[in-house]
Structure 1
Amino acid sequence: MTASSPQVWLPAQFTHLADLPPDLNYARWDGRSAFPSDPAAVEFYAPPLTKDIDVISKPLAGMTRLRAVQALSSGTDELRVELDRLQRPVTLCDARGVPARSTAELALTLILASLRGIPESLSAQERGLWSPRTYQTLYERSVLIVGYGAVGSALEELLAPFGCVVIRVASHDRNSGRGPVHSVARLPRLVTDADIVVLSTPLTPKTRQLFDAGLLARMKDGALLVNVSRGAVVDTDALLKETHGGRLRAALDVTDPEPLPSGHPLWATPGVLITPHIGAFTPSLWPRLEALIRRQLTRFAAGEELENIVPR
């Protein structure tokens, strides 16, 4: 490694530099302190592990030699916008697949908690009330998974013991190893029969507010909407209208806006369960991200095509 070697910025959490390709020049940045080197020399950028796009994008304008960005999340909608402003070719890669199992696990948790009335039981516990009720079950319910990628596939595995009827939806009709995957164009018909609708689709111009007032209105009475993708896939105002009167229920790990501000009506809407975008964040996340970054740097140093390239 020499001073003229390609400069790489890694997240501060990435501490094992000895086993990385030796012909690259590494620096680590935590997103808070001063830049660790001149951004103009950086050719490969793996941002700090944060959801704050202002932190992630802070050095981009000065990275005039930047060739590749490895996002640490599956969703890259905000980062794509920032890179488009550079008006020069930069390869963007996401981390799809890395948090799939943990996100699917949370989706299952949200489904079970909502169906079995866990929020209501916790509220009763806080008040010291013994308040038994009969709640719904997941067994043999119909589950519509919108966005049948790594998360959707992992969720179907978790649903298997419950005997659920799983309907799969992606951008185009295709076949999977488990059965047909339907085009998103079929959603208006498919949502009418689903007991549970799980959103695990990326946020793109085509999926932004995909679940608008019209599509939400087509969901069956008493259905549960679970969102572990991005908040803006759902029209929040339309969802509030459907949940406020109790026609639909919702379990949301993501919201629009996000973070959800104090006093927002979603917080107090009966039948709405909210977690603060924690689907990916388990102890297994960072080792998996490190493994992805190592593979990408090996490819980058060898001049090979990177994994998980995001179309732009």
Structure 2
Amino acid sequence: MTSDVWLPLPLQEIDGLPDGFVYRFWDGGEDGEQEFPGDPADCAVYVVPYMKPVRTRARPLEHMARLEVIQTLTAGVDDMLANLDRVRPGVRLCNARGVHEASTAELALTLTLASLRGIPGFVRAQQDGEWGGGFHPALADKTVLIVGYGAIGSAVEDRLVPFEVARVARIARSSRATERGPVHQLSDLPALLPEADVVILTTPLDDSTRGLVDDEFLARMKDGALLVNVSRGPVVNTKALLAELEAGRLLAALDVTDPEPLPPGHPLWHAPGVLISPHVGGPTSAFGPRARRLIASQMSRYAAGEPLGNLILTTGD
């Protein structure tokens, strides 16, 4: 029996796909209710639609009786992890490492610089036709703490280097040595937070990081420090962050929020010292070419019986 492969991009847009499979286009549709392109029970490889609601992405899973691979086009896989009870044992879950690092790191630096240099205020002043000067913090000579030092965290540091920061500290689940310096474990956060002028969150969302940025975390940050979140909204306790923002003690630049999308009228929209972008770390002109290369590479590996890249876990292990 020929195996089906569900793709969220049209087949003709992806070069280098191996023969021997039936490729079916399915991106969920505009309303998430698009009909399945074939019998889900015949699907062996499911490339998850990008930027669609979780209910849409997860909808076919329980019908995929022969599923072998779930390939996301996101770096984070928390949405799929929450739905793996719908699939059989032995399914390999792979993420999109290599697709989003550059774009997300770009945005992390953009948010950091815009917040420090007061760009939102300049935009408002321009709209009002007002000319105002004054001093603003520079990124130069600041200490930056990166929480979640994986591929995206490393890419953020790549982009920090030319800005002459005083120091970069790195946090991950476990400690290790790198050419740039040590990576500290999560338990070292209490000691490192008071030293940081900028804290950039690039950590995955899981049980160990959900609500990581709570009252205690924020209280340890120095007065006037900037929190930048390009990871997932629930990593930050929104109520705790709002209290610090409204007190004027901290600044925040957020590409992700909890809840998300942030509903109209939510107090975070109008909190002092906050800059919000609508979860746009990944969707840039860099996404398409890199996503297509990833899909072709993974399918070539799958066809040849080789180990897949970016493997996060295998269900049932």
Per the normalisation by structure 1, the TM-score is: 0.96
User: Which residue of structure 1 lines up, in the alignment, with residue 62 of structure 2?
Assistant: 61
Residues of 2 paired with 1:74 and 1:14: CA distance? 22
Q: Do residues 222 (structure 1) and 224 (structure 2) align?
A: yes
Residues of 2 paired with 1:17 and 1:163: CA distance? 40
Q: Do residues 153 (structure 1) and 150 (structure 2) align?
A: no
Q: Report if aligned partners of 1:148, 1:169 keep a CA contact under 8 Å in 2.
A: yes
Q: Report if aligned partners of 2:205, 2:234 keep a CA contact under 8 Å in 1.
A: yes
Return 5+ residue gaps in structure 2 as ranges.
none
Q: What are the within-5 Å matches in structure 2 for residues 158-173 of structure 1?
A: 158-164=159-165, 165-173=167-175
SS in 2 for 1:270: coil
Which ranges of 4 or more aligned residues in structure 1 deviate by more than 6 Å? none
Q: Report if aligned partners of 2:202, 2:231 keep a CA contact under 8 Å in 1.
A: yes
Q: Deviations over 1:142-180 (max 9, x none)?
A: 000001111111111111112211001111110112111
Q: What are the within-5 Å matches in structure 2 for residues 1-312 of structure 1?
A: 4-16=1-13, 19-32=16-29, 33-164=34-165, 165-311=167-313
Cα 1:177–1:14 change in 2 (3 A) is farther
How far off its partner does 1:14 sit? 4.4
How far off its partner does 1:87 sit? 5.0
Aligned residue pair count: 309
> Match of 1:61, as an amino acid?
E
How far off its partner does 1:30 sit? 2.4
SS in 2 for 1:266: helix
Residues of 2 paired with 1:289 and 1:43: CA distance? 19
Percent identity reads 52
Return 5+ residue gaps in structure 1 as ranges.
none
Cα 1:13–1:22 change in 2 (3 A) is closer
What's the C-alpha RMSD, in Å, of the aligned pairs? 1.3
Residues of 1 paired with 2:235 and 2:7: CA distance? 30
Per the normalisation by structure 2, the TM-score is: 0.94
